[in-house]
Chain A
């Protein structure tokens, strides 16, 4: 099944987001080897050069690293993984807050509503 990509944003950025999410959510574990560029490109149904670019960018950020003979590995740096997870959560919260703001809720109201909702989930 090709990856679900949207039409307007650069493809390599969406590939980075997807792989990051797969790392944070445990599809790939710390120290795991990532599939090859070709395999990932086929999985996602995207151009191999675009996938290559996404992986190079992830490598620059340190979340994956190259091992000379065995391809790309997921970092085992727990602190970095935790930080990545926090960053992703912050992104979601920011976009949630923006939407609530558009709906006309004040900060206090958002907080109260969220707490109410959290109780219901429990």
Chain B
């Protein structure tokens, strides 16, 4: 099968002074769980927004399943943004209906099963839920789609460790060899074992693209330890 994501000279600048993303060349195959890692302001979210057509490249191009970002790629990309975009006055069950209307590949059954597992009341309005519970609801929405590419911007930052374990097992459960999952996070140690590959981004440039076990074999240290070394302040 063709790669799920290709970038050629992908560049984004918000002003003339510097590039938030600088000449990124990258090909990602399906069937992988990929960690997108870098310090604050390194360009992770810019990259994610470009994949999701929220931003337009200044230079270069990006291809998802061979297509430029747009309506057709949004059908196959399931995106968890760093901030919520949902109408907070809606009830959880209304949002589920909304999503199943909106996306052909949304599984209502899967969403309800996960909501039940995490004991989230479907009759609650979003605005009365805690920050962590809101994040869980959003992740459930995103993981309930049968997408080709899942893009998760900090999916576990705001939830407690027990829910984190559940979320990681949800991601593993959802893994299939035709899809890829791209996860940006600072909690490297928590997700290291479920990753195939990691990408290190530094000042808008890709400085490392390797599998977790390549790093451990060659460097004799964890991805977390290598990150602390590469990005030492």
Q: Is the CB of B213 within 8 A of A45?
A: no
Q: Is the CB of A7 within 8 A of B165?
A: no
Q: Is the CB of B213 within 8 A of A2?
A: no
Q: How far is the CB of B210 from chain A (nearest CB, A)?
A: 12
0/1 interface trace, chain B 114-150, chain A, CB 8 Å (1 if under): 0000000000000000000000000000000000000
Q: Is the CB of A45 within 8 A of B169?
A: yes
Q: Given A10-B216, A42-B169 in contact, is the A47-B194 Cβ separation under 8 Å?
A: yes
Does A12 make an interface contact (CB < 8 A)? yes
From A7, A10, A50, B217 is in contact (CB under 8 Å) with A10
Q: Is the CB of B175 within 8 A of A48?
A: yes
Q: Is the CB of B193 within 8 A of A47?
A: yes
Chain B residues lying within 8 Å of A67, measured Cβ to Cβ, are: none
Q: Is the CB of B221 within 8 A of A49?
A: no
Size category, B interface:
20 to 34
Q: Taking CB as reference atom, which chain A residue is nearest B217? A: A10
Count the A residues whose beta carbon is within 8 Å of the partner chain — how many? 19
0/1 interface trace, chain B 68-90, chain A, CB 8 Å (1 if under): 00000000000000000000000
Q: Taking CB as reference atom, which chain B residue is nearest A44? A: B193
Chain B residues lying within 8 Å of A48, measured Cβ to Cβ, are: 172, 175
Chain A residues lying within 8 Å of B221, measured Cβ to Cβ, are: 7-8
- Which residues, 1 to 58 on A, are CB-close (under 8 Å) to B? 2, 5, 7-12, 38, 41-42, 44-50, 53
Chain B contact residues, CB within 8 Å of chain A: 31-33, 165, 168-169, 172-173, 175, 189, 192-196, 212-213, 216-217, 220-222, 224-225
Chain A contact residues, CB within 8 Å of chain B: 2, 5, 7-12, 38, 41-42, 44-50, 53
Instruction: List, sorted by A's number, 24 A–B pairs whose CB atoms are closer than 8 Å.
Output: A2-B165, A2-B193, A7-B192, A7-B221, A8-B220, A8-B225, A9-B216, A10-B213, A10-B216, A11-B212, A12-B213, A41-B172, A42-B173, A44-B193, A45-B168, A45-B194, A46-B193, A47-B33, A47-B172, A47-B193, A47-B195, A48-B172, A48-B175, A50-B213
